[in-house]
Amino acid sequence: MAKEKQKKHPLWWIRRIVAALFFAAIVVLLSGAFDWAPKTLGWMARLQFIPAVLALNAGAFIVVLLVTVLFGRLYCSVFCPLGVLQDVAIGAHNFKKNRFKYKKPLTWLRYTVLVLFIVALAAGFSVIAGLIEPYSMFGRMVSLVSHPTSAAVQVVGGVSLIVIILLAWFMGRWWCNSICPVGTLLSLLARFSLFKPAIDTEKCTKCRKCERNCKTCSIDIKGGMKVDYSRCVTCMDCLSNCQYGAMKYRMAKATPKPAPEGKGEAAKNASDAGRRAFIAGSLIAVGTAAVKAQEMKMDGGLADIIDKKVPNRQTRITPPGSQSASNMYSHCTACQLCVDNCPNHVLRPSTDLKHFMQPESSYERGYCRPECNICSTVCPVGAIRPLKVEEKASTQIGHAVWVRENCVVVADGELCGNCARHCPTGAIQMVDAGSNSKHKDRRGRDIRLQIPVVDEERCIGCGACENLCPSRPFSAIYVEGHQVHKTV
């Protein structure tokens, strides 16, 4: 049989170019380095599969399913940034070629992890599910490098990055086909895709080069010249590695059933198909389970003189657009996109176990400016809903509380009044403390002490008063969060 000159297949080039562009763009988006990125590239985050499910984003969800039904698991090799990162790691080890071989799928592991993933979402522990959700994992990796916000993100992101790179280096796309819940779900449809890689048995010489270079270990030449389409990520590597033109990417044709691998194999396959259908439906049904908010325990940032500490809030603060603590934490997968893109450093990852790495608002480093709505424009999972600037300015996420004993006294025994001067909504006013507050200033004049009073109906909880209060380590005025937001 004539040996064709080996060259890279056009589909291989197209897939790699599109994947590289998408990967670079989503890194820019997640890094928070450019102000224009959220509005221009935000759709890329919303296209991610689990965020689309949690946000009930039917458009993105349908697009991913259609791509899978038509072309197989192309999503995993083009649109999933964690998948592309693994391809980079595999390519870096390319000096050792022909290192893979066909392996049977770890079916028990794949579906055990998927069931645990669903249970975590159903129980309200979306942050636990987010530990293995590919987009959120990648978001924490980018945050580790570009915008380190907390020790928690650095540790989790760093460990995840090392594990993913080492697995990809030595085992190819093992994570995608044994652990990743998105890969397991898409595998249900990929086996029935319209277009898929196929082996031309008349041209194949059984050299096994395609098998030994398949990073998903899904090509089995010796066992029947077949491809496991549930694990194939449509990377097109096999097309470029076949020297005889025996590998084709074409419309699926009816093929005879493969030879049985043992007794009871047909019954086992039928049982697996039923379980997969049940699991896929269950994920969509429980993906939006609600969780309750918990008190915030995270340390704040540095003040100019000494550390400013987080007040003992009874209710944690969630950003405008989240609507409620329940909505926020039932959807959030801790991808860090809103944290990295917050220009005022108000959002930071939580360190308490129930909401580990999920964002929360605190005002030690800045306050939530009424004219900023970036977090609501970038969130892909619906944890922070889109909110216009004018809507945000009238959304109450909490209210200010004055603590008299912490208040700073300036000249003549007066209180500084900084909170009233800087309140953007005019909700804080300095008023006479009463007839018993009369005293004399340095010139002997009778004056009355003025104290800040908060109009809770006008206060939106932006935190300008808390952030700009000169009192240390605790502000003399702080924001108490609201479980449910309202319009004022």
Backbone angles phi, psi at 62, to 5 degrees: -65, -40
pLDDT tens track for 69-103 = 999 999 999 999 999 999 999 888 765 667 888 99
Cβ 118 vs Cβ 286: under 8 Å: yes
- How many residues appear in the chain? 488
pLDDT tens track for 305-348 = 567 888 888 999 999 999 998 888 888 888 889 988 888 889 98
pLDDT tens track for 417-427 = 899 999 999 99
Task: Give the sign of the dihedral formed by CA 105, CA 112, CA 271, CA 254.
Answer: negative
pLDDT tens track for 176-216 = 999 999 999 999 999 899 999 999 888 888 888 888 889 99
Q: Give me the DSSP letters along 194-212.
A: SEEEEE-TTT-----HHHH
Domain extent listing, the chain: 10-195+264-284, 325-487
Right CATH number for 325-487 from 3.20.20.60, 3.30.70.20, 3.30.530.20, 3.40.50.1000? 3.30.70.20
What does the alpha-carbon distance between residue 183 and residue 191 come to, in Å, rounded to a whole number?
A: 12
